[in-house]
């Protein structure tokens, strides 16, 4: 049975609504997937769950979806921020997509002293977040903060949010045991440094936060994108929504 395509839309979703599709999504449904009128399409907007839509053609290059019924309620979003230093393009695309798949609720791109990338393409990141959500059956698209330097981010850090500082210089200790000792329902963030690591001054700033936990991710130095996925997996399993 062919899988029903899933699309992210901006519009509000409710029964009998008609959602006009932008040119790119129209082209995808009509020309790439060659869907016929009345074909089923699943749509979500990241706020109101998932709905079944039926394709309506209104001309050669225009299409809309008539919303028929709700198929999934909007899940309670996890509350896990990913603080990361922008990487070079392909690795950054990977990191952003995995953050969505792993259930990050917010991406926080920070420029640190040793960040290799000179700029951060927010639009490209948003497209990657939406693509990951469409492909992986996710209904919540992570929010994305504007890129900023580490110092102002930490100066304005919400004091109730615990920062899990992934530190390759932390003493080797089983991260599951370290996380098991933390309160179970705090808002969380995980910080991953750039390929060159955090500088000593940045480490000191991170460790000065009111709620911070240094976490070793094992005896080997991981690439930043690998570390991000590993850390989010351990966090979701210990304190997040993988616990069921």
DSSP characters over 109-135: EEE-TT---S---HHHHHHHHHHHHHH
How many amino acids of this chain bind ligand SAM (CB under 6 A)?
Answer: 18
Closest CB to ligand SAM among residues 141, 188: 188
Piece of the chain touching ligand SAM by CB under 6 A; list 6-14, 57-65, 218-226, 232-240: 218-226
Closest CB to ligand SAM among residues 7, 104: 104
CA angle 211, 214, 220 (to 5 degrees): 160
**Applying CB under 6 A, does 166 fall inside the site for ligand SAM?**
yes
**Applying CB under 6 A, does 221 fall inside the site for ligand SAM?**
yes
3-state secondary structure of 86: coil
CA angle 109, 83, 209 (to 5 degrees): 125
Kindly identify the residues of this chain, within the stretch 172-201, that bind ligand SAM according to CB under 6 A.
192-193, 195-198
Looking up tokens 């004091």 gives 159
Half-sphere exposure of 198 (CA within 13 A, CB side): 24
**The only residue of 21, 83, 163, 227 in contact with ligand SAM, by rule CB under 6 A:** 227
**Applying CB under 6 A, does 130 fall inside the site for ligand SAM?**
no
Rule CB under 6 A: which residues touch ligand SAM?
166-168, 192-193, 195-198, 216-218, 220-224, 227
């Amino acid at each position: 049975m062919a899988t029903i395509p899933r699309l992210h839309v901006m519009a509000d979703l409710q029964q009998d609504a008609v959602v006009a599709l932008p040119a790119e999504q129209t082209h995808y449904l009509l020309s790439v997937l060659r869907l016929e009128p009345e074909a089923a399409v699943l749509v979500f907007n990241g706020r109101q769950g998932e709905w079944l839509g039926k394709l309506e053609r209104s001309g050669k290059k225009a299409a809309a979806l008539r919303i028929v019924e709700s198929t999934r309620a909007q899940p309670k979003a996890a509350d896990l921020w990913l603080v990361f230093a922008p990487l070079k393009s392909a690795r950054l695309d990977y990191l952003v997509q995995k953050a969505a798949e792993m259930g990050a609720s917010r991406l926080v791109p920070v420029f640190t002293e040793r960040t290799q990338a000179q700029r951060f393409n927010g639009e490209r990141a948003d497209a990657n977040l939406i693509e990951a959500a469409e492909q992986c059956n996710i209904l919540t698209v992570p929010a994305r903060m504007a890129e900023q330097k580490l110092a102002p981010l930490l100066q304005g850090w919400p004091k109730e949010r615990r920062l899990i500082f992934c530190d390759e210089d932390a003493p080797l200790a089983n991260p599951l045991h370290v996380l098991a000792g933390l309160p179970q329902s705090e808002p969380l963030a995980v910080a991953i440094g750039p390929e060159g690591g955090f500088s000593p001054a940045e480490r000191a700033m991170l460790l000065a936060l009111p709620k911070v936990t240094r976490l070793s991710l094992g005896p080997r130095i991981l690439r930043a994108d690998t570390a991000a996925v590993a850390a989010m997996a351990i966090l979701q399993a210990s304190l997040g929504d993988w616990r069921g």
